[in-house]
């Protein structure tokens, strides 16, 4: 089992939500597909595994709660966990990416954020019907996620970029 990877992914997803929406000093619930949990844990997300994970993560994230949803699990992080994540630094890339997208940037402007944080950016055109580009950092610096980007039309002409972030295994399972 890989509790460390799931804990990091939970923290990263909470931080991304806080960068987008702000910190509201309240619990947060995140839905995970069973396949994603299996990739992150390197094991099935049984009730026993999830309880063991909760004990592992409790010092940082507080007492987690779990509820089964269709094809997955809803993980609820209490206020002390979301407050802990809010206090973390080291999310400069994600912060700049969220801010750039929020301000209706083009794909080129968004890719400039990637290149600002690393000279080692892999970029591939993808024809998924939903996304235009895949961008990621092969050396996993500043992060290990796969970003699917698309240019969305705007009401006043032009376009702005949107992104969706995946772990590598989920990206490969969906698009490869």
The residues with which 148 forms a beta bridge, in sequence order, are 134, 164
Q: At what angle do helices 92-102 and 107-117 cross, to 10 degrees?
A: 170
Q: What pLDDT is recorded for position 109?
A: 94
**What DSSP assignment string belongs to 75-131?**
EEE-HHHHHHHHT----HHHHHHHHHHHTT--HHHHHHHHHHH-S--EEEE--SSS-
> What phi and psi, each to the nearest 5 degrees, are found at residue 161?
-85, 145
Spans of the chain, pLDDT less than 50: none
Q: Count of CB atoms within 10 A of residue 12's CB?
A: 19
Beta-carbon-side half-sphere exposure of residue 103 (alpha carbons within 13 Å): 8
The model's pTM is 0.94
Residues 138 and 10: their CA atoms lie apart, in Å, by 22
Q: Which of 7, 12, 26, 63 is nearest to 165 (CA)?
A: 12
Domains and CATH numbers, the chain: 3-86 (1.10.10), 92-175 (no CATH)
Q: How far is CA 5 from CA 36, 43, 63, in A?
A: 11, 12, 18
Q: Which of 23, 65, 21 is nearest to 47 (CA)?
A: 65
């Amino acid at each position: 089992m890989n509790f460390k990877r799931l804990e990091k992914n939970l923290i990263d997803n909470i931080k991304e939500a806080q960068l987008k929406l702000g910190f509201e000093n309240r619990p947060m619930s995140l839905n995970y597909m069973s396949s994603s949990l299996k990739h992150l844990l390197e094991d099935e997300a049984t009730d026993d595994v999830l309880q063991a994970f909760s004990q592992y993560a409790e010092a940082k994230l507080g007492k987690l709660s779990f509820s089964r949803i269709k094809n997955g699990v809803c993980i609820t992080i209490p206020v002390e966990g979301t407050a802990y994540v809010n206090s973390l630094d080291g999310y400069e890339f994600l912060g700049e990416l969220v801010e750039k997208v929020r301000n209706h940037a083009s794909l080129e402007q968004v890719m400039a954020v990637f290149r600002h944080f690393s000279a080692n950016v892999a970029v591939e055109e993808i024809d998924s019907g939903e996304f235009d580009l895949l961008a990621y950092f092969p050396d996993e610096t500043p992060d290990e996620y796969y970003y699917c980007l698309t240019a969305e039309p705007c009401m006043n002409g032009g376009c702005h970029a949107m992104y969706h972030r995946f772990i590598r295994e989920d990206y490969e399972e969906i698009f490869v």
